[in-house]
C-alpha cells in the first residue's frame, strides 16, 4: 500500500495511483484542501467486518424521507403521537453570567425528532451546528472532502473506528501509556499493538520514526496511530506543535491514519497559544487532506451523561463506520442530540467558547490545587510534569526498585492496591495503561472533582506509604 505523492513535470501533484490532488487548479498558490486519497485507498484500509457488513436495507434509504412530497412506506416507525412525553424542559446556565438561568422547552418538530428513530450518522440540525464549530476551531470547511458522524461518545466512536479498520493481526500504533479504554478493544480485535513512547511533550516522533524506518519489508505497515493530543489520559501531556508536525509528516510518508481522540481539546489552559490539532494541520500546508480521523466529545464540556461524541474525517471511512452503527445500536440517542443541539444553538459558537474558557480555568485551578498538595507532601518521593490541559497528572513514585525491575524503578501496582488503599487513598496504577499490564512506578492522579482538603489529605496518605516503602528498603528520603 504505497500512495505517496509524486510531482509531475507540469508541477501537479499526483498520488502514485494517479489521483490528482484537488485544489484551485487555476491558482496553484491556493492550498489543496481536498483529499488526494482515492476510495480505493480507503477500501484497502477497511477491516473484513466492514467489507462484509451490507448497508442496512432500511437505514440506507432513510435520508430520502426528507424529500418534499415523498410518501414513505419504508420503516416501521412507532407513531410519535402515541408517545406519552409532550415536551422536554430544562434550565440552562448562561456562559457569561452563571447566576442567570434560561428555561428551554423542546416541543413540536424538535420534540418529535427527539423521540423517534433518526439517521445512523446523527440528526442534521446537530451535524450542521458541528460543522460550524469544526470550521471555527480547526479551519476545516464543510464540503472539502470530509464529513461528520455522531456517536454515543468518543468511546463508541473509538470502538467503531477500530472495528471499521482493524483485522486480527493488523498493526496499530498506540501511545504508551495509552488511554485504558482502548486496551479491551485492541484485545478484542486481536490487533498487534505497537507501543510508541511518550514524554512531557506528548508522543515521541523520533521513536515513531525509528519504528517505521526499521519496519520489516515483508510486514504490512500499520494502518493507524491512536493518539490523545491534548491533556492525554493518562499522562496529562499536550503534544507540542513540533511533535505533531513530525508525526503528520510520518503519516504522509508511511500512509497511516491518525486517529486523533481529542476529548480534552476544549480543556486547554496552557500559557502559550494552543498547538493546532492534527485535523487543522493536515489542511494547513496545502499538501492535501485525508489521513486524520478526528474524534470530539461533548462529555467534558456539556455532559458526560448525554453520551455524544462526533467523528470528523474522510467520507469513505465514516460511511463504513456508520454501517457499524446501523448494525449495532442503530444510531446515537435522538433525545441527547436534540438536547445538545438546543443548548448549542441557544449559546452559539461564542457562548460555547465562553463556557469552555470558564471550565478550562476551573480545571487549571484544580491542577494548581493538587500540585500544592503534591509539592507539600511528595517532594523527593515522586516526580511529575505539570499538565496544561485536561484533568490528569502522571506521577512517578520514587519507590525502591522492584525485584524484577530492569530500569531500577519500583512497582506502583502492589502499593496502590494494598497499602495505599488500606491507608484510605485510591488512584489508578500505571500498569492499567499498558496493553501487557507491564510493571511501572507511575500512577495516574485524576484531580477534576477533588476539594482542597481531599487533595491535601490524599497526598499526605500517599506520601506516608511511599516513605514507609523506602524506609523498609533502607532508601534514604531527602
Ligand X SMILES: Cc1ncc(COP(=O)(O)O)c(C=O)c1O
**Of 30, 105, 304, 379, the one binding ligand X by CB under 6 A:** 304
Q: Is 233 in the site for ligand X (CB under 6 A)?
A: yes
- Residues with Cβ within 8 Å of 284's Cβ and at least 6 positions away in sequence, in order, are 31, 139, 276
User: Torsion-angle region of residue 299: left (phi > 0), alpha (psi -120 to 50) or beta?
Assistant: alpha
Rg of the chain in Å (alpha carbons): 24
Whether cis (ω within 30° of 0) applies to the bond prior to 181 is: no
Q: Is 405 in the site for ligand X (CB under 6 A)?
A: no
Q: Is 155 in the site for ligand X (CB under 6 A)?
A: yes
For residues 37 and 394, which CB has a smaller minimum distance to ligand X in the complex? Answer: 394
| Cα gap 377→422, rounded to integer Å | 18
Stretch that binds ligand X, among 22-30, 148-156, 317-325, 429-437 (CB under 6 A): 148-156
For residues 62 and 298, which CB has a smaller minimum distance to ligand X in the complex? Answer: 298
Minimum distance, C-beta of residue 230 to ligand X, in the bound complex (Å): 9
Structural contact between residues 230 and 390, judged by C-beta atoms closer than 8 angstroms: yes
Neighbours of 220 (CB within 10 A): 13
Minimum distance, C-beta of residue 392 to ligand X, in the bound complex (Å): 8
**Of 106, 186, 208, 228, the one binding ligand X by CB under 6 A:** 228
φ/ψ of residue 190, rounded to 5? 60, 30
| Cα gap 121→148, rounded to integer Å | 8
Structural contact between residues 252 and 291, judged by C-beta atoms closer than 8 angstroms: yes
Q: DSSP string spanning 361-381?
A: HHHHHHHHHHHHHHHHHHBTT
Minimum distance, C-beta of residue 75 to ligand X, in the bound complex (Å): 28
Of the candidates 146, 132, 149, the residue with the CA atom closest to the CA atom of residue 352? 132
**Of 31, 55, 181, 200, the one binding ligand X by CB under 6 A:** 181
Minimum distance, C-beta of residue 160 to ligand X, in the bound complex (Å): 12
Q: How many residues bind ligand X (CB under 6 A)?
A: 13
Query: Under rule CB under 6 A, which residues in 256-275 are in contact with ligand X?
Result: 261, 263
The angle at the Cα of 263, spanning 260 to 267, to the nearest 5 degrees, equals 120
Minimum distance, C-beta of residue 299 to ligand X, in the bound complex (Å): 3
Minimum distance, C-beta of residue 163 to ligand X, in the bound complex (Å): 15
For cell 488526494, name the residue. Answer: 36
Q: Is 299 in the site for ligand X (CB under 6 A)?
A: yes
Of the candidates 254, 270, 241, 255, the residue with the CA atom closest to the CA atom of residue 388? 270
Q: Is 303 in the site for ligand X (CB under 6 A)?
A: no
Half-sphere exposure in the Cβ direction for 186 (13 Å, CA): 22
For residues 263 and 400, which CB has a smaller minimum distance to ligand X in the complex? Answer: 263
Q: Is 442 in the site for ligand X (CB under 6 A)?
A: no
For residues 176 and 283, which CB has a smaller minimum distance to ligand X in the complex? Answer: 176
For residues 32 and 174, which CB has a smaller minimum distance to ligand X in the complex? Answer: 174
Q: Is 297 in the site for ligand X (CB under 6 A)?
A: yes
**Of 146, 179, 384, 442, the one binding ligand X by CB under 6 A:** 179
**Of 154, 174, 293, 463, the one binding ligand X by CB under 6 A:** 154
Structural contact between residues 275 and 245, judged by C-beta atoms closer than 8 angstroms: no
| Cα gap 143→140, rounded to integer Å | 9
Stretch that binds ligand X, among 78-86, 95-103, 149-157, 168-176 (CB under 6 A): 149-157
Q: Is 177 in the site for ligand X (CB under 6 A)?
A: no
Under the rule (CB under 6 A), what is the footprint of ligand X? 153-155, 179, 181, 228, 233, 261, 263, 297, 299, 304, 309
Amino acid at each position: 500500500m504505497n500512495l505517496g505523492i509524486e510531482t509531475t513535470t507540469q508541477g501537479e501533484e499526483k498520488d502514485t495511483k494517479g489521483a490528482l490532488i484537488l485544489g484551485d487548479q487555476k491558482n496553484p498558490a491556493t492550498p489543496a484542501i481536498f483529499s488526494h486519497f482515492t476510495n480505493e485507498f480507503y477500501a484497502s484500509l477497511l477491516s473484513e467486518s466492514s467489507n462484509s457488513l451490507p448497508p442496512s436495507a432500511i437505514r440506507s434509504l432513510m435520508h430520502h424521507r426528507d424529500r418534499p412530497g415523498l410518501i414513505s412506506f419504508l420503516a416501521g416507525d412507532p407513531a410519535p403521537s402515541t408517545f406519552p412525553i409532550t415536551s422536554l424542559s430544562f434550565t440552562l446556565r448562561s456562559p457569561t453570567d452563571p447566576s442567570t438561568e434560561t428555561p428551554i422547552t423542546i416541543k413540536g418538530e424538535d420534540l418529535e425528532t427527539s423521540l423517534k428513530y433518526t439517521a445512523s450518522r446523527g440528526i442534521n440540525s446537530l451535524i450542521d451546528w458541528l460543522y460550524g464549530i469544526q470550521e471555527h476551531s480547526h479551519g476545516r470547511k464543510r464540503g472539502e472532502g470530509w464529513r461528520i458522524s455522531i456517536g454515543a461518545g468518543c468511546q463508541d466512536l473509538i470502538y467503531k473506528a477500530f472495528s471499521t479498520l482493524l483485522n486480527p493481526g493488523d498493526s496499530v500504533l498506540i501511545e504508551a501509556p495509552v488511554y485504558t479504554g482502548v486496551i479491551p478493544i485492541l484485545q478484542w480485535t486481536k490487533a498487534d499493538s505497537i507501543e510508541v513512547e511518550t514524554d512531557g511533550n506528548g508522543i515521541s516522533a523520533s521513536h515513531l520514526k525509528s519504528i517505521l524506518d526499521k519496519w520489516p519489508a515483508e510486514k504490512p505497515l500499520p494502518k493507524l496511530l491512536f493518539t490523545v493530543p491534548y491533556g492525554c489520559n493518562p499522562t496529562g501531556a499536550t503534544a507540542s506543535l513540533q511533535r505533531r508536525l513530525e508525526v503528520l509528516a510520518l503519516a504522509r510518508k508511511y500512509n497511516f491514519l491518525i486517529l486523533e481522540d481529542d476529548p480534552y481539546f476544549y480543556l486547554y489552559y496552557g500559557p502559550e497559544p494552543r498547538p493546532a490539532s492534527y485535523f487543522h494541520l493536515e489542511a494547513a500546508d496545502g499538501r492535501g487532506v485525508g489521513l486524520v480521523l478526528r474524534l470530539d466529545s461533548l462529555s467534558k464540556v456539556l455532559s458526560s451523561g448525554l453520551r455524544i461524541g462526533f467523528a470528523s474525517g474522510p467520507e469513505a471511512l465514516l460511511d463504513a463506520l456508520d454501517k457499524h452503527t446501523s448494525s449495532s445500536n442503530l444510531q446515537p440517542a435522538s433525545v441527547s442530540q436534540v438536547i445538545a443541539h438546543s443548548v448549542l444553538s441557544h449559546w452559539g459558537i461564542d457562548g460555547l467558547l465562553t463556557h469552555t474558557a470558564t471550565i478550562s480555568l476551573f480545571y487549571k485551578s484544580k491542577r494548581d490545587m493538587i500540585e500544592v498538595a503534591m509539592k507539600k507532601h511528595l517532594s523527593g518521593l515522586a516526580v511529575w510534569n505539570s499538565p496544561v490541559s485536561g484533568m490528569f497528572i502522571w506521577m512517578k513514585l520514587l519507590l525502591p526498585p522492584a525485584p524484577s525491575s530492569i530500569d531500577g524503578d519500583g512497582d506502583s501496582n502492589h502499593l496502590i492496591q494494598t497499602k495505599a488503599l488500606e491507608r484510605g487513598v485510591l488512584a489508578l496504577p500505571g500498569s492499567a495503561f499498558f496493553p501487557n499490564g507491564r510493571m511501572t512506578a507511575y500512577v495516574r492522579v485524576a484531580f477534576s472533582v477533588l476539594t482542597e482538603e481531599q487533595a491535601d489529605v490524599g497526598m499526605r496518605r500517599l506520601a506516608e506509604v511511599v516513605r514507609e516503602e523506602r524506609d523498609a528498603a533502607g532508601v534514604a528520603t531527602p
